Structure 1
Amino acid sequence: MLEELLIFTRGGLILWSSCRALGLASPLKGSPIDALIRSCLLEERAADAGFTQDNYALRWAFSNDLGLVFVAVYQRMLHLLYVDDLLAAVRKEFSQIYDPKRVDYGDAFTDVFRQLHLEAEARAEAMKKTRQQNTLPSTRAPAGGGGKKPGALGGRAGPQGGGGGKKGGAESGKDDSDSSDSGKDHNQLTNGTVKGHQNGDARAAAAANNGKENGDPNDGAFDVNTLRKKIGGKKGGKKTDAVAKKAAPKAEPKKNVKKDRVWDDQPRKVGKLDFTDPADERGEEMVEKAIEHQGDSMMDKDEVLSSDSEDEDDEGEESAGAGQKKKGWFTSMFKSIAGNNVLEKADLQPALKALKDRLMTKNVAEEIAEKLCESVAASLEGKKLGSFTRISSTVQTAMEEALTRILTPRRSIDILRDVQAAKERGKPYVVVFVGVNGVGKSTNLAKVAYWLLQHNLSVMMAACDTFRSGAVEQLRTHARRLQIPIFEKGYEKDPAVVAKEAIQEATRNKSDVVLVDTAGRMQDNEPLMRALSKLINLNKPDLVLFVGEALVGNDAVDQLNKFNQKLADLSTVPTARLIDGILLTKFDTIDDKVGAALSMVYISGSPVMFVGCGQSYTDLKKLNVKSIVKTLLK
């Protein structure tokens, strides 16, 4: 049963609703249509097959020339077959009576909708009956079930034919009388193969005997004696063995013993591999020099796009447009001059194909690039092309708007503001850094700590990577250089408990921010993902940052999908806590291959909050959306 059909403009004005027109109260629980607009239509996922929210399934259609959206809502378990057909019919009929100056279509369209609904249900029922008739069991005998013809087929096909019987076998023999001998050989070969699978030595022996019987040296097993004769004569084998025996007793080289590390030209013996002794006499002096030479963090600097780069981009777009002109000069010129031509999907395909290839060369995942092009096609199909306007430029403009909409955060996440709000409540602001192995979580955690210190906030690090050897010492080094406290409990401890004790310690010391370092883990590692879910559910952090590499392409989709899926599946609370933001590392190593940022944001819906672009503490920036979009499309 259809729950509701809604017609509204792209600006959000509701023109007609089936429930309102029929005088019924809305049966929908929650806000599935608001969720559709927020999570799908505004995020350029209009090309998806459908959308589910709670117990509802939603389907939609566009009228791009009129700027209308048609949405049908029904129970997810019903699987209604006529919804797409009904939406197409409603769109066709409503477009004929639509007037931009009119805002109410209650009485004018209600009777039309009832008739369209009945016709769509009737067509779906007739189609269902036709499918049932086509899938009824046939009266033909099953394959290999006996009889003359099946027996003959069975004799030829072997095991697939089944019980053909004697007569069937005889007929098969008559049909293949010219190749009876080959049939025997085939049976012998088949039996030999089966036995050979059961016993490898017997098969090798049979192959050797076969070579001897035929007398052909190329058949059968390889003769080792022949090779020995060619190498060293008749006694080649003995010579080889003698040489091997002489070469065996060799003196083993002496092993190099690792020397102790030299500190200040004096050898110093240590009991463990920990060279971050906070009691080092030079420690304070080194820290002061390190802090002095770092300077201001790049997070507080606005990146300015140079006019030269913009001019180059414009020239590149013009040259690309010229290439499109040469490719289809007559068609594009005719449509440009004529104007008011309705864009069809076939007209958009060449320009979308070029855009998809361009996005993939920028390291955008193939699946994401394809969905983006389908979404742009859905938003342009049916629109009228203006005079002297190329299709390629229209598609380019639509894609630029779509990319800007995706990369722009849906909600403002101001960490400094949130830290002050938590400070007023008397609680520290907790940030958890998660991600796969080797992406730079600890280093970029230190960069974030340095940026927070410049805003006069007290920061404490929590060493909750109790899995990787050297992780605690690495974080201790950053803490010593930045002169901030660190909470650690060593290795082989429960990271969730360590994080909880660190937050309690920060509350007692009135620290403003707690930065929690976690172990790197692959998205398929079930035990470590379970430990991460426990840490997040137990401590309820204010922000969960996924640290990912800017070098990854298709793997970014798999990483974020599985991280969010595991956090949702392993959550012990009704509302699972997922990833809130993304920190993109090694951004200075990728040149123009910036597609990973788009792939990650598209998959998770979370914004890129930090970009790591170097090896010093100051190398942390904001994501410049305009710059990324220009890079992706140039």
Structure 2
Amino acid sequence: MLDVFMIFSKSGLVLFKYELATLKGDPVDALIRTVLLENRSTTDTVFKVGSYAIKWKLVNKYGIVCVAVYQSSLALTYVDDLLENVATAFPRAFKDDIADATGPLDFGTKFDTLLFEAEENSRRSNRQNRAKKPAAVKTSGQTPENDNTDDNDTGDEADDDEFAQFRSTRRGGPRGYQGRKSGSRSPKSGGKGSGNATKAKRAWNEKEDMTEEERIALDVTGSNGASADEVEAAYLRKAKVYLPDEEGEMADLDKEAAEEDGNDDDDDDGGWNFGSSAVGNFFQRLTGQKPLTREDLSLPIETMQKQLQAQNVSAVAAREICEAVMQDLEGQKLGSMTRGVSTAVRESCEKALQRLLAPKRSIDVLREARAAKAEGRPYTIVFIGVNGVGKSTSLSKVCYYLKNNGLKVMLCACDTFRSGAIEQLKVHSKNLGVPVFEAGYNKDAASVAVNGIKQAKDTGMDVVLIDTAGRMQNNEPLMRSLTKLVAKTKPDLCVQVVEALAGNDATDQLVHFDKALKDFSETTVPRTIDGMIMTKFDTIGDKVGGAISLVHATGQPIIFVGTGQKYTNINKLNAKKIVRVLLQ
């Protein structure tokens, strides 16, 4: 998005200014001194100074200069068209006033229209260009990035099925390893070539009176499949991808915190001071007098709502945010004649989004874990979510972060159903150098968790991270089992892991999980979800609106985001960056 758009005369009189962000340093002064005052001819289409890119348009007939300033890291394809349109529209509107003007002219409403049209034309052109791209041709041995033929898409963020290649050689869920001839494919139940064979319904209920056959069916070890050592070895061969580049490397959120501490002194550069340049300081003396009406606000707010939804903000959240902006601005007077309606809408929307992302409860996992340690008890976190979103990997990243900050962490394997789940967690524990508590398959997950917490306390552990089985939000038996585990363990945090690529489906999962924890709880005060971890956040580009939808739906914060496969790739959600991307 634009930071500043200006129109000034060659004598230095500011005729119009649109300002969305306070500039650091004097980028326009640099343009004036380096290019305009020196009358330097140049074929460059953009002038770069510091972190800014500047484009300009001279209108010699009227002696004015149109200047657009934006972050050089952004590819704003509409700036050239906007400059051309403004360079035509401004003289047409004020051709009799430019020469005698003594201050800024009221060009805000027209500029808002031109900016909206330029942005819309740019977005339309981008959509058309994407539509013209030929579809990727799938060749032998290749799998398109969006191929969803597997049960769970691993993407860049490893998840509960990150060892899919190994697991694909096993058939029948948890019945252990069974070899398959090279090149052969096992037909899916009910599909072509499957005959009348039907898949036996899996028993998910936790029964104490299971038969020996049922117990064997759930056990991935023993004579019916590969040994536990073979299964673990298969996971170990895949596990190097998680290891950090250097031993003891800080997690990403620690690196970012260290960088912010080191840059504290860089924030005092001050904004752009017109008084120190040839442009003048007219804006400090001007105030607008016209109250904003719904009619003034309707078009820019409608545009803003469409932009939010295009960035994966749910329709409900986008509508409520925009209604809050309408209520905030209706009846207000603009701060200056040059502060356009579009600018006011953007500023109000930015504040609304930052308020939404500000957590009702500030969750600092490291600080809370240290406080629990001081109380002489282990800090417990339960990780829940649907299949394949990355619970085990997210748990391991949190473990790495806490261990690197001096805490003793124990993992607790409470996924007693998914084949290979315990072996997978053991591999993570070996990589991380932490113990894991497990009781094997076909066990009551809630009892395993309770016993794990007890052992952690007895052995002086500071933190217990509890892994649970993936389950769909509409599966009542499994949701009752999860509610039982959460109620019995009484964790310090109940964290739902969601996938950024799921978009608004993640919001649906979160709402139903939270509702199930309330509906199936047998306690007077049900324990619900405290916060979220969003995985694969590095894969969504500018489609960051899912984060807004999640927080809007529950009022709970996003505690961490996963930004890659390695244990170090975990970070905190930067609300300011999210808002900037949404409004650019």
TM-score range, shorter chain: 0.5 to 0.7
SS of 1:588 mapped into structure 2: helix
Asked if structure 2 preserves the Cα contact closer than 8 Å seen for 1:276 and 1:477, the reply is: no
Q: Measure the CA separation in 1 of the matches of 2:509 and 2:400.
A: 28
Partner of 1:297: 251
Q: Measure the CA separation in 1 of the matches of 2:289 and 2:245.
A: 64
- One-letter amino acid of the structure 1 residue matched with residue 299 of structure 2: P
Partner of 1:396: 346
Q: Deviations over 1:15-60 (max 9, x none)?
A: xxxxxxxxxxxxxxxxxxxxxxxxxxxxxxxxxxxxxxxxxxxxxx
Q: CA separation of 1:610/1:283 partners in 2, compared to 1, >3 Å: closer, same or farther?
A: closer
Q: Measure the CA separation in 1 of the matches of 2:561 and 2:453.
A: 26
Partner of 2:123: none
Partner of 2:510: 560
What root-mean-square deviation, in Å, do the aligned CA atoms of Structure 1 and Structure 2 show? 3.1
Of 311, 318, 331, which aligns to 1:382?
331
SS of 1:293 mapped into structure 2: coil
Stretches of structure 2 that go unaligned for 5 or more consecutive residues are: 1-178, 184-221, 264-270, 272-285
Q: CA separation of 1:368/1:290 partners in 2, compared to 1, >3 Å: closer, same or farther?
A: closer
Asked if structure 2 preserves the Cα contact closer than 8 Å seen for 1:342 and 1:385, the reply is: yes
- Does residue 346 (structure 1) correspond to residue 295 (structure 2)? The answer is yes
Q: Deviations over 1:297-347 (max 9, x none)?
A: 1120227799xxxxxxx9xxxxxxxxxxxxxxxxxxxxxx99322222222
Q: Alignment identity in percent?
A: 47
Partner of 2:380: 430
- One-letter amino acid of the structure 1 residue matched with residue 460 of structure 2: K
Q: CA separation of 1:387/1:418 partners in 2, compared to 1, >3 Å: closer, same or farther?
A: closer
Partner of 2:321: 372
Q: CA separation of 1:291/1:599 partners in 2, compared to 1, >3 Å: closer, same or farther?
A: closer
Asked if structure 1 preserves the Cα contact closer than 8 Å seen for 2:350 and 2:579, the reply is: yes
Partner of 1:174: none
Task: Give the C-alpha shift of residue 559 in structure 1.
Answer: 1.6
What are the within-5 Å matches in structure 2 for residues 221-620 of structure 1? 257=181, 272-273=225-226, 276=229, 290=243, 293-294=246-247, 295-302=249-256, 339-388=288-337, 389-620=339-570
Q: Measure the CA separation in 2 of the matches of 1:273 and 1:355.
A: 57
Partner of 1:192: none
Q: CA separation of 1:283/1:610 partners in 2, compared to 1, >3 Å: closer, same or farther?
A: closer
Q: CA separation of 1:371/1:338 partners in 2, compared to 1, >3 Å: closer, same or farther?
A: same
Q: CA separation of 1:415/1:391 partners in 2, compared to 1, >3 Å: closer, same or farther?
A: same
Task: Give the C-alpha shift of residue 271 in structure 1.
Answer: 6.3
Asked if structure 1 preserves the Cα contact closer than 8 Å seen for 2:232 and 2:423, the reply is: no
SS of 1:385 mapped into structure 2: coil
Asked if structure 2 preserves the Cα contact closer than 8 Å seen for 1:274 and 1:473, the reply is: no
Task: Give the C-alpha shift of residue 279 in structure 1.
Answer: 10
Asked if structure 2 preserves the Cα contact closer than 8 Å seen for 1:612 and 1:620, the reply is: yes
Asked if structure 2 preserves the Cα contact closer than 8 Å seen for 1:547 and 1:585, the reply is: yes
SS of 1:302 mapped into structure 2: helix
Partner of 1:181: none
Task: Give the C-alpha shift of residue 619 in structure 1.
Answer: 0.5
- One-letter amino acid of the structure 2 residue matched with residue 296 of structure 1: M
Q: Deviations over 1:114-157 (max 9, x none)?
A: xxxxxxxxxxxxxxxxxxxxxxxxxxxxxxxxxxxxxxxxxxxx
Asked if structure 2 preserves the Cα contact closer than 8 Å seen for 1:363 and 1:552, the reply is: no
Asked if structure 1 preserves the Cα contact closer than 8 Å seen for 2:236 and 2:427, the reply is: no
Partner of 2:197: none
- One-letter amino acid of the structure 2 residue matched with residue 351 of structure 1: P
Q: Deviations over 1:86-114 (max 9, x none)?
A: xxxxxxxxxxxxxxxxxxxxxxxxxxxxx
SS of 1:393 mapped into structure 2: helix
Asked if structure 1 preserves the Cα contact closer than 8 Å seen for 2:382 and 2:495, the reply is: yes
Q: CA separation of 1:584/1:256 partners in 2, compared to 1, >3 Å: closer, same or farther?
A: closer
Partner of 1:251: none
Partner of 2:58: none
- One-letter amino acid of the structure 1 residue matched with residue 327 of structure 2: A
Q: Measure the CA separation in 2 of the matches of 1:460 and 1:277.
A: 24
Q: CA separation of 1:521/1:338 partners in 2, compared to 1, >3 Å: closer, same or farther?
A: same
- One-letter amino acid of the structure 2 residue matched with residue 360 of structure 1: Q
- One-letter amino acid of the structure 2 residue matched with residue 410 of structure 1: K
Task: Give the C-alpha shift of residue 290 in structure 1.
Answer: 4.8
Q: Measure the CA separation in 2 of the matches of 1:398 and 1:347.
A: 15
Q: CA separation of 1:497/1:352 partners in 2, compared to 1, >3 Å: closer, same or farther?
A: same
Q: CA separation of 1:489/1:275 partners in 2, compared to 1, >3 Å: closer, same or farther?
A: closer
- One-letter amino acid of the structure 2 residue matched with residue 541 of structure 1: P
* Count, aligned residues: 340
Give the helix-richer structure, 1 or 2. 1
Asked if structure 2 preserves the Cα contact closer than 8 Å seen for 1:407 and 1:598, the reply is: yes
Asked if structure 1 preserves the Cα contact closer than 8 Å seen for 2:231 and 2:420, the reply is: no
Asked if structure 2 preserves the Cα contact closer than 8 Å seen for 1:291 and 1:481, the reply is: no
Q: Measure the CA separation in 2 of the matches of 1:397 and 1:514.
A: 43
Q: CA separation of 1:348/1:410 partners in 2, compared to 1, >3 Å: closer, same or farther?
A: same
Asked if structure 1 preserves the Cα contact closer than 8 Å seen for 2:412 and 2:467, the reply is: yes
Q: Deviations over 1:495-545 (max 9, x none)?
A: 111101110111111111000001111211111111111111111000111
Asked if structure 2 preserves the Cα contact closer than 8 Å seen for 1:278 and 1:480, the reply is: no
Task: Give the C-alpha shift of residue 410 in structure 1.
Answer: 2.7
- One-letter amino acid of the structure 1 residue matched with residue 309 of structure 2: M
Q: Measure the CA separation in 2 of the matches of 1:301 and 1:532.
A: 35
Q: Measure the CA separation in 1 of the matches of 2:378 and 2:556.
A: 23
